[in-house]
Amino acid sequence: MAEAGNNSRQFRAEVRKVLHILTNSLYTNREIFLRELVSNASDALDKLRYRMNRGESPSLPDLPLEISISLDKDAKVLTIADTGLGMTAEELAENLGTIARSGSEQFLADVAAENAAKATGSAAEAASDEESADAKPADAANIIGRFGVGFYSVFMVASKVEVTSRPAFGDNAEASVWISDGLGTFTVEPATGDAPQRGTVIKAWLKDDAAEFAEKFRVESVIRKHSAFVPFPVLVDGERVNTQPALWREPKFSVTKEQYDSFYKALTYDAKEPLDTLHLSVDAPVQFNALLFTPDSAQDFFGADREFWGLDLYARRVLIQHRNKELVPEYLAFLKGVVDTEDLPLNISRETLQENVVLRKISQVLVKQALGHLEKLARDDAEKYSRFWNLHGKVFKLGYHDYVNRERICGLLRFNSSTLADADALTSLDEYMARAPEGQKIIWYVAAPNREAARLNPHMERFRRKGIEVLWLYEPVDEFVMDSLAKYKEWEFKSVETAADDALNEFADKEQPKNEAAAPLSEDDSASFDALMERMKAILGEKVTDVRVSHRLADSPAVLVSADGGMSSSMEKLLKVMQKDDSIPVKVLEVNRDHPLLRSMLRIYKADADDRILADMTSHLFDASLLLDGYLKDPQALAARTGKLLEEAAAWYTEVRKI
């Protein structure tokens, strides 16, 4: 019990030091004091409602259960009142005079003890008391306060605090007033003058540097941010602020689409309705409620919006952390919404989370539920899922890091492909596999900036001829996804650039080459072609490791390939960018000896191995191949050489045709 000396009493413990810590170090944001006072007021109302539901009759039973905040800007006074349980003089001294004593904690302990006692009673007593024993247990569960220190946060902004309270139960309950400057002493005495009819009134004289909290707009913004979903009306100068209900705690069947849309817009300030909604109420392995939305617009998570993701974490309707990034992995960053739990252990200030397994369990459940919801959407509404993918697929692909859910994530991936009609069409990996010819066990892909570039890629030619579908990857992250995933249902992912010469031999041709088949080279011409390739290698010098005949080309004259075939050109280029390496890789130049251009070059070589035109054509082939790979550094030289060759070709043509 706090000791009294006249009307002045000393706080228990080394209060000067403790209060200094509480008001100057424990809380990092001064506006938190208002959240704490509103939470305490909400607790007082919950306790009263709990006892009323148990059949007890308070004073003024028709008095509305609400929290009122009034502001006196000139006097710099903030007043917060509730019509809740109230406190006696002794309870004021105990609850407000003892640091870290929580009236809410004691209340919950008393409720638990009472229910335990009932549980051990006779069966007849249990049956007769069943209704009252279970009377609205959620009212008790909604109680927020646990540590008994939140009230003292008011001294961050107040030089003097006056708490006037009248208990809701008891004959002729008298009002008492507790007064302190937070420096070590307090007084408790009978209230004189205006006193609440029931409940508690806290009057705070604000410090000069906290005068902002006497402004209505400032107080309203704090309420909307931290306490928008407390279960009782919160009025600021007579106007209700918390008008949006905590929909996540409502039964799903009772919430309309219009309510979901309205809640989403209020939460995100998005003018558009959400694309999709996921409402969860989970009891095991951890109890929580969640309301998640998929926006109908994309965010730049790889640029300006890099940090603007995460779910709002609530504990018993009170905001604990805005944009908590531990609740969902980065590949679900597109999700907006709230998570509210009864089971989350917090640190004493309720501003930050303690390290615990509860948050990890919540995250695991959220991921499982979100993936299941996307699977259902993909199965039941392909058009809507395609819209989701076009908006958020870029970030969802980052799920390749999630080894636990890798198989499910693979099933949700979507790509454009060589078989589809246009660039907007999408296929799943399962659909790709279902269309594949018998014997195929590789999912082939090619990276390109767009559909046309993918179609013109020389490596596509033999796949087109064999009728083998190829996935077309347009995003830089796509190849990292394929490389990291490696397999899906025992099917390997491989780039068409890394395909071995005999990779498609077992599949019959489905399409004929565009150009007519060239006549086979004679033995002499074959030897001359080998010599031509040696000459081309000499012309290119250190730019290539070798020049050799290609077995992958049908319509194109040449292509660059890695010597070991282990990495695609686009992946190699990405790695070079990451390493800030702008050098041109040295590769093998493969040439199509049946192409008309190479046959013409053979004729030029046989006539004059040192012909300048042969050297220009060789350099042109190399630069054109570099251009296709995205490595060409000197397009001006290519353009000049092209112009010169065209000029000479035109002259020869006019001479031959006698034009």
> H/E/C letters for each residue in 525-567?
HHHHHHHHHHHHHHHHHHHEEEEEECCCCCCCCEEEECCCCCC
Q: Which of 371-380, 425-434, 615-624 has the lowest mean pLDDT?
A: 615-624
Residue 613 pLDDT exceeds 80: yes
Whether the CB-CB separation of 80 and 65 falls below 8 Å is answered with no
* pLDDT computed for residue 186 by the predictor: 87
Q: In this predicted structure, what is the pLDDT of residue 564?
A: 66
Amino acid at 506: E
Percent of the chain with pLDDT over 70: 85
Q: What are the backbone dihedrals phi and psi of residue 291, each rounded to the nearest 5 degrees, phi first?
A: -135, 110
400 has pLDDT over 70: yes
Mean pLDDT is lowest, of 276-290, 305-319, 395-409, for 305-319
- CA distance linking residue 268 with residue 272, whole number of Å: 10
Give the pLDDT confidence of 637-648 residue by residue, as tens digits.
888 888 888 888
Strands across the sheet containing 587-591:
544-549, 587-591, 558-561
Overall average pLDDT of the 333-360 stretch: 72
Between CA 192 and CA 164 the distance in angstroms is: 10
Residue at 611: amino acid letter: D
Confidence (pLDDT) at 545: 93
Predicted confidence band of residue 282 (pLDDT cuts 50, 70, 90): very high
Return the pLDDT at 25.
Answer: 59
CA neighbours within 13 Å on the CB side: how many for 349? 18
pLDDT higher than threshold 80 for residue 150: no
The whole-number pLDDT of residue 87 equals 93
* Mean pLDDT calculated for residue range 488-515: 86
Q: What is the mean pLDDT of the chain?
A: 85
Q: What is the dihedral of CA 10, 11, 12, 18, to 10 degrees?
A: -130
Task: Give the Å distances, CA to CA, from 95 to 1, 173, 285.
Answer: 10, 18, 35
Q: How many CB atoms lie within 10 A of CB 490?
A: 6
Write down the pLDDT at residue 122.
40
Domains parsed from the chain with CATH numbers: 4-240 (3.30.565.10), 247-380 (3.30.230.80), 415-498 (3.40.50.11260), 523-657 (1.20.120.790)
pLDDT given at position 570: 74
What is the arithmetic mean of pLDDT over 312-318? 87
Count Cβ neighbours within 10 Å for each residue of 220-249 and write b for 16 or more, e otherwise. Answer: bebbbebbbbbbbebbbeeeebbeeebbbb
Residue 288 has which token pair?
A: 């929580």
Calpha distance 293→342 (Å, rounded) = 22
Whether the pLDDT of residue 581 is over 90: the answer is no
How confident is the model over 551-579, as a mean pLDDT?
78
- Type of residue found at 536: M
Asked if 444 and 468 count as a contact pair (C-beta separation under 8 A), the reply is yes
Residue-level pLDDT at 358? 82
**Strands 471-473 and 442-447, how do they pair?**
parallel
For residue 632, the model assigns a pLDDT of: 77
Q: How far apart are the first and last CA of the chain?
A: 117
Question: HSE-up of 586 (CA within 13 Å, CB side)?
Answer: 8
The predicted-structure confidence for 10-38, as pLDDT tens digits, reads as follows 665 555 566 666 666 556 688 989 998 99
Sequence length of the chain is: 659
Distance, in Å, from the CA atom of 601 to the CA atom of 261, rounded to the nearest integer, reads 68
Q: Does 540 score more than 90 pLDDT?
A: yes
Of 540, 541, 544, 630, give the one whose Cα is nearest residue 587: 544
Residue whose C-alpha is closest to residue 142's, from 241, 39, 267: 39
Tokens 């065209």 appear where? Answer: 646
Alpha carbon 192 to its chain centroid, in Å, reads: 55
pLDDT, residue 201, reads: 97
Out of 95-104, 158-167, 284-293, 391-400, which region has the weakest mean confidence (pLDDT)? 95-104
User: Would the CA dihedral through 423, 425, 426, 430 be positive or negative?
Assistant: negative
Q: Which residue from 304, 346, 303 is spatially nearest to 324, judged by alpha carbons? A: 346
Report the percentage of the chain scoring pLDDT > 90: 55
Residue that wins the pLDDT comparison between 652 and 276: 276
pLDDT for the residue numbered 262:
94
Which range has the worst mean pLDDT, 110-114, 170-174, 357-361? 110-114
What does the pLDDT look like over 39-98, one tens digit per residue?
Answer: 999 999 999 999 999 999 999 999 999 999 999 999 999 999 999 999 999 998 888 876
For residues 93 and 98, give the distance between their C-alpha atoms in angstroms, rounded to a whole number.
Answer: 8
Per-residue pLDDT at 610 exceeds 90: yes
* Nearest-angstrom CA–CA distance, 300 and 268: 16
pTM reported for the whole predicted model: 0.78
What is the helix, strand, coil percentage profile of the chain, to 5?
45, 20, 40
pLDDT for 513 equals 65
Is residue 101 a contact partner of residue 148, using CB atoms and an 8 Å limit? yes
Which is more confidently placed, 576 or 59?
A: 59
Helix (H) or strand (E) holding 201: strand 199-206
Distance CA 648, CA 611 (A): 14
